[in-house]
Copies of this chain bind each other. A is one copy, B any other.
Amino acid sequence: MDFGFDPKTEDLRARVRDFLDNEVTPAEPVFEEQLAASDDPWAWTRVPVFLDLQDKARTAGLWNLFLPGDKGAGLTNLQYAPLAEITGRSLLAPAALNCAAPDTGNMEVLNEFGTPEQQEQWLKPLLRGEIRSSFAMTEPDVASSDATNIATRIERDGDEYVLNGRKWWITGAMNPDAKIFIVMGKTDPTADRHRQQSQILVPRDTPGLVVKRGMEVFGYDDHDHGGHAELEFHDARVPATNLIAGEGLGFAIAQARLGPGRVHHCMRSIGLAEKAIELMCERADARTTFGKPLSEQGVIRDWIAESRVRLEQLRLLVLKTAWLMDTVGNKGAHTEIQAIKIATPETVQWILDKAIQLYGAAGLSQDFPLARAYAGIRTLRFADGPDEVHKASLARRELRRQADARATSPTAH
């Protein structure tokens, strides 16, 4: 057991941190101004300072760090995790390094399951950062936590597949540069529970695909990251060769992308929480009420200590999850992958709430990043299914494991 990072990771941490501090952070207000001045508020990937950042990241060798294997940086999950934490400090950083969701997951899927043609057409431009992509799974009319509820149809018709259905909360899809969507739907509703679904590539300009509106989160449309679109498919047709991996493999592909994405999300959230603790400490030292700085108020100190104590525990669990994925695979890390989904939003939301409270009304306003961060983290409590579903499932497995242990060593109790 060893809690230190390896030298390669330490080196990359320093370089990513430098890039954040020296390139991304100064670029943030410029990005905001340039986007505000642009014609299309959703076309955030066309903002000059962002393109510039991407160039610098490529040059600095901080590009596609998320991707294992020779097409990417070849890092393990455990090596990449602390880098994801650092990028989580800034809304702009993940994309600047071409490590932003949902493109990362989409690239992983294409890398692992795509045909050479699919990789040529879509993976390569994604890896170069020339286009963006979306992943269309959630539907408005059913509880998305239960994959068998999915209602969108993908039906074979000759050399094509025909799509019909509605999706929403399709992150990034409002951006006109999101050229390709991976869509989850049912090819065979009569098959086994987890063999009904397929995933298919649907180009943005496919007739019958309507990008209907952007969903808002607590009043934010998140246009600076492509928003969250509601989509409609009305007899939208794509070539049969657009299917990924094969009919009935949609659920399996979704599971495969889950593990790494979960770790990335959680580590970025931890980076956000670190940023929030910094902001808390800064304000607590700077602000005086009733004759002494906030940092000398007992209740404030309690918040800061609790934040630190909770965050340290959380980070270790996420890192252990990455380590398990590297050593025993995603399946062996199942419990932990679920556990970090449960623990992360709760902990980070708690910390953000305290940071906001410390800033007073300013904390809820556009002048600080806290309220927007809170909104983003709040959505994690439903993303990939609400916490409650994950807890129920984790408990079921714990109960089974304990029952097995009782069965095999009855005297131990």
Contact = CB atoms under 8 A, between A and B. Distances in A.
Interface of A: 1-6, 9, 21-22, 25, 78, 138, 140, 143-146, 149, 168-169, 215-221, 277-278, 281-282, 284-285, 287-290, 295, 297-306, 308-310, 312-314, 316-317, 319-320, 323-324, 327, 335-336, 339, 342-343, 356-357, 360-362, 364-366, 371-372, 374-375, 378-379, 381-382, 386-392, 394-396, 398-399, 402-403, 405-406, 409, 411-413
A217 B366 CA distance: 8
Contact of A313 (B287, B316, B379, B398): B316
Contact of A305 (B140, B216, B386, B398): B398
The winner among A140, A356, A395 for most chain B CB atoms within 10 A is A395
B361 A308 contact: no
Contacts of A403: 281, 285
Nearest to A298: B298
Contact of A308 (B25, B371, B398): B398
B379 A361 contact: yes
A305 B220 contact: no
Q: Which 10 A-B pairs have the closest CB atoms?
A: A219-B219, A298-B298, A219-B220, A301-B395, A313-B313, A316-B316, A305-B391, A281-B402, A218-B218, A143-B289
A285 B399 CA distance: 8
A88 to B, nearest CB: 15
Contacts of A336: 312
Contacts of A402: 277-278, 281-282
